[in-house]
Amino acid sequence: LSAAVATASRRFQHLLDRSTPHVGRRWLGLAGVVLVYALRAWFVGGYYIVTYALGIYLLNLLIAFLSPQVDPELAEVLGEGPALPTRSSDEFRPFVRRLPEFKFWYSIVKAFCIAFGMTFFSVFDVPVFWPILLFYWVVLFTVTMKRQILHMVKYRYVPFTFGKQVP
């Protein structure tokens, strides 16, 4: 049994390794997974707590994806670590994410698969008034993203690259 698990694990890792350069296809596949989960949640008509927890987890992943590996605020306070450039004459340092794109994608896929599996067990179908959860999630998302954007503006970093940089 242990050998079979090890073989399956190696094959799965091989598939993940082969999918790494295919960014567009991976995200398109994720869109399919999201659609399947959304259809399941819609037709079953419940599992709002599962969807809410999934939303909170996705928000956490998004913040990690948008954040630099070394927090400039913490580095500034401690007086250590490489600082992000604040003037055009400063040395160029590429943006290094706290959560790389592949791990971001893979974590989202795993989260949706786990949430999908949870929709088959009635113990996770807790009766709640879903508009309150939706409202709370939207407020949480808005406040969190506002804080993240203000952090980006304050420390002058953009977590996205749009083609080749021209000096």
- Residue 3: how many other CB atoms lie within 10 Å: 7
pLDDT of residue 155: 83
**Residues in CB range of 30: below 8 A, 6 or more apart:** 105, 108, 109, 112
pTM of the entire structure? 0.84
Q: Give residue 70's pLDDT.
A: 83
Query: Would you state the structure tokens that stand for residue 37, as one six-digit string?
Result: 């989960």
Strand partners, 68: 97
Per-residue tens of pLDDT for the chain, all 167 residues? 899 999 999 999 999 999 999 999 999 999 999 999 999 999 999 999 999 999 999 999 999 999 988 877 777 777 665 555 556 656 666 778 889 999 999 999 999 999 999 999 999 999 999 999 999 999 999 999 999 999 988 888 877 776 655 55
At residue 87, the pLDDT reads: 61
